[in-house]
């Protein structure tokens, strides 16, 4: 990783890292082509996040809970909003240790996309507060359970590398070609991406443009 820092205008959304690890094409469709399709699953996800953000700050024993905190890292070029940051009192000291918690509608996924997004939040907190954040948690609504995540060296490197790759992808302005895979069936952009239909065409806009030209020729 270089020592480069980003300008405020060049920050990308934290969620872009999650999209990129899930599927580079999905990331490009959302963050380059600005394509989004609301469906039942994404709507449920938004409602869950809104409910979390609407709640007030609270204290539970040695834990203070803050919601909807704005995060930023100029080192990684990221910005976003944390669902929940818990502050755990350090035993015997007047210090509070941040512990990010990200809410997900579904259940744990086979890849590291959610862990990378959470780790990116931790890296933002470290830069903003100048302290170390070693742990956080992902709460999955479908199974009503939270999974602790350790921000070890491997996950940190993967998160930093993902941030770099997302910046490069967005700067390129190129949407990768669709490659149909099993997880496409669970993708919120399946209808718009058309992984089985578009084949080697790289862009939804280009595909729709070519359809329009065909239509104009025949009308």
Q: Residues 15, 18, 26, 73: which binds ligand SF4 (CB under 6 A)? A: 26
Q: Residues 21, 25, 98, 116: which binds ligand SF4 (CB under 6 A)? A: 25
Strand partners, 202: none
Place of tokens 């803050």: 66
> Hey, which residues between 195 and 214 contact ligand SF4 (CB under 6 A)?
195
Which CB atom, from 105 or from 183, has the smaller least distance to ligand SF4? 183
- Taking the complex as a whole, how short is the minimal distance between the CB of residue 196 and ligand SF4, in angstroms? 9
Distance CA 125, CA 63 (A): 17
Strand partners, 66: 85
Does 193 participate in binding ligand SF4 (rule CB under 6 A)?
A: yes
Residues 130-169, one symbol each (x = binds ligand SF4 by CB under 6 A, - = not), give ----------------------------------------
C-alpha to C-alpha distances, 40 to 16, 54, 152, 188, nearest whole angstrom: 21, 21, 35, 9
Crossing angle of helices 153-172/14-22, nearest 10°? Answer: 90
- Taking the complex as a whole, how short is the minimal distance between the CB of residue 180 and ligand SF4, in angstroms? 7
In a 3-state reduction of DSSP, which class is residue 213? helix
Q: Residues 122, 133, 189, 204: which binds ligand SF4 (CB under 6 A)? A: 189
Does 23 participate in binding ligand SF4 (rule CB under 6 A)?
A: yes
Which CB atom, from 64 or from 105, has the smaller least distance to ligand SF4? 105
- Taking the complex as a whole, how short is the minimal distance between the CB of residue 26 and ligand SF4, in angstroms? 4
User: Which helix or strand (DSSP H or E) is residue 15 part of?
Assistant: helix 14-22
- Quick one: which segment of 60-68, 87-95, 118-126, 183-191 binds ligand SF4 (CB under 6 A)? 183-191
In a 3-state reduction of DSSP, which class is residue 82? strand
- Neighbouring CB atoms inside 10 A of 161's CB total 12
Sign of CA dihedral 204, 210, 213, 217: negative
User: Which helix or strand (DSSP H or E) is residue 168 part of?
Assistant: helix 153-172
Instruction: Count residues binding ligand SF4 (CB under 6 A).
Output: 12
> Hey, which residues between 58 and 97 contact ligand SF4 (CB under 6 A)?
none
What residues line the site for ligand SF4 (CB under 6 A)? Answer: 23, 25-26, 29, 178, 183-184, 187, 189-190, 193, 195
């Amino acid at each position: 990783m270089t020592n480069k820092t980003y300008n405020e205008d060049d920050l990308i959304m934290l969620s872009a890292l999650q999209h990129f690890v899930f599927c580079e094409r999905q990331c490009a469709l959302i963050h380059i082509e600005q394509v989004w399709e609301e469906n039942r699953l994404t709507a449920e996800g938004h409602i869950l996040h809104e409910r979390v953000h609407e709640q007030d700050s609270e204290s539970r024993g040695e834990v203070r809970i803050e919601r909807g905190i704005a995060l930023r890292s100029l080192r990684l070029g990221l910005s976003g909003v944390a669902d929940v940051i818990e502050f755990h009192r350090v035993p015997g000291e007047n210090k509070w240790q941040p512990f990010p918690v990200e809410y997900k509608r579904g259940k744990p996924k086979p890849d590291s996309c959610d862990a990378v997004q959470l780790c990116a939040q931790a890296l933002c907190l470290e830069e903003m507060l100048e302290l170390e954040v070693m742990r956080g948690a992902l709460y999955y609504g479908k199974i009503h359970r939270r999974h602790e995540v350790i921000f070890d060296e491997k996950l940190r490197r993967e998160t930093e590398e993902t941030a770099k790759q997302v910046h490069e992808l967005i700067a390129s302005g190129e949407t990768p070609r669709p490659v149909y895979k099993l997880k496409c069936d669970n993708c919120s952009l399946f209808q718009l991406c058309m992984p089985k239909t578009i084949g080697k065409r790289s862009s939804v806009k280009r595909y729709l443009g070519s359809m329009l030209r065909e239509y104009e020729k025949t009308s």
